[in-house]
Structure 1
Amino acid sequence: MSTLVRRFGATVRQLREAQGWTQEQLAKYAGLNRSYVGEVERGACIASIVTVDKLAKALAVPMARLLAPLRHDESV
């Protein structure tokens, strides 16, 4: 997959872990399947704009936060 897809998944994972949530918890809050959340985090699938919105709302961040590239000196 593309760098964007992998970076998106890594950002979702970092934000989820910062909340102390499991993939199952994030999936529940976002109205998604747990295995799909795992695929997103691994960069194994391309999330639709609807999925990006669901994840952003569950994580209480703007959609742009999930899509913006991280700088090396920046953490989630």
Structure 2
Amino acid sequence: MGSVLDKIGANIRRLREARGLTQAELAKAIDANRNTISRIECGQQNVSILILVDISKALRVSLGAILQDCL
């Protein structure tokens, strides 16, 4: 069982790939850099609720989809 950050990162990666986006494209959509997205997806970076909201908007999914199975 992974950490919450691992689960959030895995959900973001799955949702991003389902949309056919690269890390660079998602990063551009939320005004971040690709390394930030990489660290988030790998569970290596704590992420604020504001960034999660931006990611959910960019991926056109609910915040709940990103947090699925995390709690």
4+ long deviations beyond 2 Å = none
Deviation at 1:29, TM superposition (A): 1.1
Percent of matched pairs sharing the same residue: 35
Q: What TM-score comes out, normalization by structure 2 length?
A: 0.89
Answering whether residue 68 of structure 2 is matched by residue 68 of structure 1, we say: yes
What amino acid is the match of 1:51? I
Larger radius of gyration: 1
What amino acid is the match of 1:40? I
How many residues matched?
Answer: 69
Counterpart for residue 7 of structure 1: 7
Counterpart for residue 59 of structure 1: 59
CA-atom RMSD in angstroms: 1.4
Q: What TM-score comes out, normalization by structure 1 length?
A: 0.84
The answer to whether the 8 A contact 2:11-2:68 is kept is no
Q: Which runs of 5+ in 2 are unaligned?
A: none
2:67 and 2:14 map into 1 onto residues whose CA distance is 13
